[in-house]
């Protein structure tokens, strides 16, 4: 049963992989499941063997040894467990470091991701390649400005703010992760990403999406009563489609799309 569970989980239950950097993580997860599955099976078999072998004894082994456990046995099991768990931890950390430290082959496409109760907002610079300035005092979702973008700043004119994340396939994407209020967690299963967004911190993630399609974005951190609403869609499209998507937002005060709480924002 354990072997079948490991096989089907690694082959079937994982969401579709849409990034070239996720293969190493899937391999590490499969390795963890196999090793821990072997340990689980071995301990259950040993437990069954002891129950069957000593089922008729009226006293425990601990009593027959004078009430003292065998230190060598305890030390052996402790050493094996420590080696297994520390080894898996070190291997996972090394894998994550290799992925994170891979040098960028090209200039990344920059996207600012902001978590706020209970929405994800995605901002991308327009043709000028610059983000407009923001001001916390200007944050007002009811007025169509959930990120507090300063409309008087010239760089803000072509910024695109959306409730869905649209990115080009085959390009390196730089995510700049923020949170306005509480801790959120940016979770994209198909990209094998789960990163906390912390208020007051700018966290940078690089990812190379390779497969076009539509994928789920969720918040993996309980962030309040409306946590269940905090989901969005990731659309990985061809580069030509991505450029066409950006061109549909002409320069204005601030071009925004898809905010469900105000009729001042166009729905696309």
pLDDT in tens, the chain (268 residues): 666 666 666 566 777 777 777 777 877 887 888 888 888 888 889 888 888 887 766 555 455 555 566 788 788 888 888 888 888 888 888 877 776 666 666 788 899 999 999 999 999 887 777 888 888 888 888 778 888 888 888 888 788 888 899 999 888 888 999 999 999 999 998 888 889 999 988 899 888 888 888 999 999 999 899 999 999 999 999 988 988 888 887 665 444 454 444 333 433 4
Whether residue 262 is contained in a domain is answered as: no
pTM summary value: 0.71
Instruction: Name residue, tokens 């069957």.
Output: 52
Cα torsion angle, 240, 241, 242, 245, sign: positive
- Cα separation, 130 vs 134, in Å, equals 12
**Given this model, what pLDDT does residue 262 score?**
36
Whether residue 205 is contained in a domain is answered as: yes
Whether residue 186 is contained in a domain is answered as: yes
Whether residue 239 is contained in a domain is answered as: yes
> Do 15 and 134 belong together in one domain?
no
CA dihedral 147, 150, 156, 159 (to 10 degrees): 10
Whether residue 263 is contained in a domain is answered as: no
> Do 69 and 157 belong together in one domain?
no
Rg of the chain, C-alpha, whole Å? 25
> Do 62 and 120 belong together in one domain?
no
Domain carrying residue 126: 109-257
Residue 115: strand, helix, or coil: strand
- Cα separation, 258 vs 164, in Å, equals 8
Burial class of residue 66 in the structure, from the number of CB atoms within 10 Å of its CB (0-12 exposed, 13-18 middle, 19+ buried): exposed
> Do 120 and 49 belong together in one domain?
no
> Do 201 and 88 belong together in one domain?
no
| C-beta atoms surrounding 36 within 10 Å | 15
Whether residue 265 is contained in a domain is answered as: no
Whether residue 264 is contained in a domain is answered as: no
Residue 114 tokens, joined: 């902001």
**Given this model, what pLDDT does residue 123 score?**
92
> Do 236 and 136 belong together in one domain?
yes
CATH code, domain with 237: 2.60.40.420
Yes or no: say if 95 and 28 are a contact pair by the CB < 8 Å rule: yes
End residue of a domain, out of 68, 100, 132: 100
Helix, strand and coil percent figures for the chain, each rounded to 5: 40, 25, 35
**Given this model, what pLDDT does residue 22 score?**
75
Domains in the chain, number: 2
Between 22-53 and 71-100, two packed helices, what is the crossing angle to 10 degrees?
170
> Do 177 and 129 belong together in one domain?
yes
**Burial per residue of 126-137, b for 16 or more beta-carbon CB atoms within 10 angstroms, e otherwise:** beeeebbebeee
> Do 47 and 8 belong together in one domain?
yes
Cα torsion angle, 245, 231, 192, 182, sign: positive
End residue of a domain, out of 52, 77, 100: 100
**Given this model, what pLDDT does residue 33 score?**
80
> Do 79 and 173 belong together in one domain?
no
End residue of a domain, out of 40, 67, 100: 100
**Given this model, what pLDDT does residue 197 score?**
92
Distances 208 to 21, 63, 130, 139, 192 between C-alpha atoms, Å: 7, 61, 21, 31, 11
Whether residue 267 is contained in a domain is answered as: no
Residue 95 tokens, joined: 């894998």
> Do 72 and 144 belong together in one domain?
no
> Do 120 and 237 belong together in one domain?
yes
> Do 226 and 180 belong together in one domain?
yes
Residue 178 tokens, joined: 């923020």
């Amino acid at each position: 049963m354990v072997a079948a569970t490991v096989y089907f989980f690694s082959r079937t239950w994982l969401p579709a992989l849409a990034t070239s950097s996720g293969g190493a993580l899937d391999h590490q997860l499969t390795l963890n499941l196999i090793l821990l599955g072997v340990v689980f099976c071995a301990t259950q078999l040993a437990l069954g063997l002891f129950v069957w072998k000593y089922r008729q004894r009226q006293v425990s082994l601990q009593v027959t040894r004078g009430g003292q456990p065998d230190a060598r046995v305890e030390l052996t099991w402790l050493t094996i467990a420590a080696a297994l768990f520390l080894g898996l931890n070190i291997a996972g950390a090394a894998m994550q470091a290799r992925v994170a430290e891979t040098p960028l082959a090209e200039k990344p496409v920059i996207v600012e991701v902001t978590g706020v109760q209970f929405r994800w907002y995605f901002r991308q610079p327009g043709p000028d390649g610059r983000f407009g300035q923001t001001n916390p005092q200007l944050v007002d979702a009811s007025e169509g400005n959930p990120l507090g973008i300063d409309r008087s700043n010239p760089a803000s004119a072509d910024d695109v703010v959306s409730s869905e994340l649209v990115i080009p396939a085959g390009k390196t994407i730089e995510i700049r992760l923020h949170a306005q209020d509480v801790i959120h967690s940016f979770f994209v299963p198909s990209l094998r990403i789960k990163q906390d967004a912390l208020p007051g911190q700018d966290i940078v993630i690089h990812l190379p999406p390779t497969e076009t399609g539509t994928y789920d974005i969720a918040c993996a951190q309980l962030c309040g009563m409306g946590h269940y609403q905090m989901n969005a869609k990731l659309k990985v499209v061809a580069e030509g489609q991505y450029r066409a998507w950006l061109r549909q937002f002409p320069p204005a005060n601030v071009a925004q799309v898809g905010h469900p709480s105000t009729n001042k924002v166009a729905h696309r």
